[in-house]
Amino acid sequence: MTATVPGWRVRRAGPLALLQDAGRFGVRRLGVTQGGPADLHGWAWANRLVDNGWGTTALEVTVGGLALEAERDLTLAVCGGDLGATLDEAPLPLWRGLRVRAGQVVAFRQPVAGLRAYLAVAGGFRADPVLGSTACVVREGLGGHDGHGRPLAAGDRLAVGAAAPGVRGEEAPAEVRPDYAAVPRLALLPGAQIGEFDGASLYRAFNTAWRVDDRADRMGVRLTGPRLHCRVETLISEGLGLGAVQVPPDGQPIALLNDRQTIGGYPRLGALTPLACARLAQCQPGQEVRLAAVAAERALAEHRRFRARFG
């Protein structure tokens, strides 16, 4: 078992900073959702740049406002959205590993591009797993640094796994760093009820722009745009996977993310791929997105290529 040592003290808590590992699986039959990083891509690269294995717990920082003081020398990486991160008030380089000294302060101000940043530290953040995972789900009161799903608060201390704090200079390749200002095309696997939508609705779904509504969180993101019409308004509740795109009676799609409910009874266009969910999780309210239908074989091949980078 990896030794645990002091790592960080929270000087200032932002609106939502949560520990996240890869997620909580095998428990949806109990009505427990998966949690895990909203942006799988940013989380995975942050861990890779400090030599952490897949599934290592990192810190998800939403919107910003967080300040952490290092309690020992550490190696870290920050990936995902640009939240104006600083190290002792100087700009902190993103998408690369670097060393910080005991007493230095890492802070996140406010979104410049994207919405969520991921801070990984060599050795990983340490917390007692709940139902097999440290993933923090506030709504269900599970996981996180205290086991009860509580966001970080000023004065909290975060333990990390013991690791050699060697200097790291590795950077993520430029081609894997998303342009969060660009209009994303979100890959969607058509679902079982897609044939219940009329032809005009299907055309509009995939050929017009949608905007991210301000009703967006880790549970799901509402998209606003043309009204979609489905011959079936409600169904017997079915299990909901990551990325399920439900269409309630108002015709405005809702893409469900990591903290979604486990069952639902609205018809679905289909499901966004995990990487499409990751990209959507970085979109700010009002940002334009587009949906793009994708075949299962292509989506699976893309995900396999992604996972192959991380062992």
Per-residue pLDDT of the chain (311 residues; tens, 9 = 90+): 456 788 999 999 999 999 999 999 999 999 999 999 999 999 999 999 999 999 999 999 999 999 999 999 999 999 999 999 999 999 999 999 999 999 999 999 999 999 999 999 999 999 999 999 999 999 999 999 999 999 999 999 999 998 765 556 689 999 999 999 999 999 999 998 999 999 999 999 999 999 999 999 999 999 999 999 999 977 899 999 999 999 999 999 999 999 999 999 999 999 999 999 999 999 999 999 999 999 999 999 999 999 999 98
163 with 190, same domain: the answer is no
Q: Are residues 148 and 218 in the same domain?
A: no
- Helix, strand, or coil (residue 63): coil
Last residue of a domain, one of 176, 193, 228: 176
**Does one domain contain both 210 and 142?**
no
d(CA 80, CA 169): 18
Q: Are 163 and 191 members of one domain?
A: no
Residues 171, 240 share a domain:
no
Task: Please tell me the predicted confidence (pLDDT) of residue 234.
Answer: 78
Q: Looking at the structure, do residues 255 and 137 belong to the same domain, yes or no? A: no
Tokens of 64: 């910003």
Check residue 167 and give its pLDDT.
Answer: 52
DSSP type of residue 152: P
Q: What is the pLDDT of residue 6?
A: 86
**Is the same domain home to 202 and 114?**
no
Residue 304: phi and psi, rounded to 5, are: -65, -40
Q: What is the pLDDT of residue 162?
A: 84
SS3 track for 99-142 = EECCCCEEECCCCCEEEEEEEEECCCEECCCECCECCCECCCCE
Same domain, 60 and 197: no
Amino acid at 256: L
**Separation of first and last alpha carbons in the chain:** 21
At 218, which CATH number? 2.40.100.10
Residue where one domain finishes, among candidates 124, 154, 176:
176
Which of 176, 195, 216 is the endpoint of a domain? 176
**Which residues partner with 157 through β-bridges?**
9
* Contact assessment for residue 63 and residue 18, using Cβ atoms and an 8 Å cutoff: no
Do residues 112 and 46 share a domain?
Answer: yes
Say whether both 200 and 128 belong to one domain: no
Strand partners for 125: 160
Give the integer Cα–Cα distance in Å for 251 and 115: 26
- Rounded CA separation 170/283 (Å): 27
Task: Please say whether the beta carbons of 234 and 266 come within 8 A.
Answer: yes
Rounded Cα gap, residues 226 and 12, in angstroms: 41
Residue matched to tokens 């009204």:
227
pLDDT given at position 288: 98
Q: Report the candidate in 10, 12, 85, 42 with the shortest Cα–Cα distance to residue 176.
A: 42
The pLDDT, as a whole number, for residue 164 is 61
Written as six digits, the tokens of 196 are 């219940």
| Domain limits for position 266 | 185-308
- Taking alpha carbons only, the member of 48, 63, 109, 89 closest to residue 214 is 63
CA-based nearest residue to 86, from 63, 105, 60: 105
Asked whether the beta carbons of 157 and 10 are under 8 A apart, the reply is yes
Q: What is the DSSP letter of 137?
A: B
Looking at the fold, whether 157 and 193 belong to one and the same domain comes out as no
CA distance 34 to 24: 4
Q: Which residues pair with 158 in a beta bridge?
A: 8
Are residue 139 and residue 197 in the same domain, yes or no? no
Q: How many domains does the chain have?
A: 2
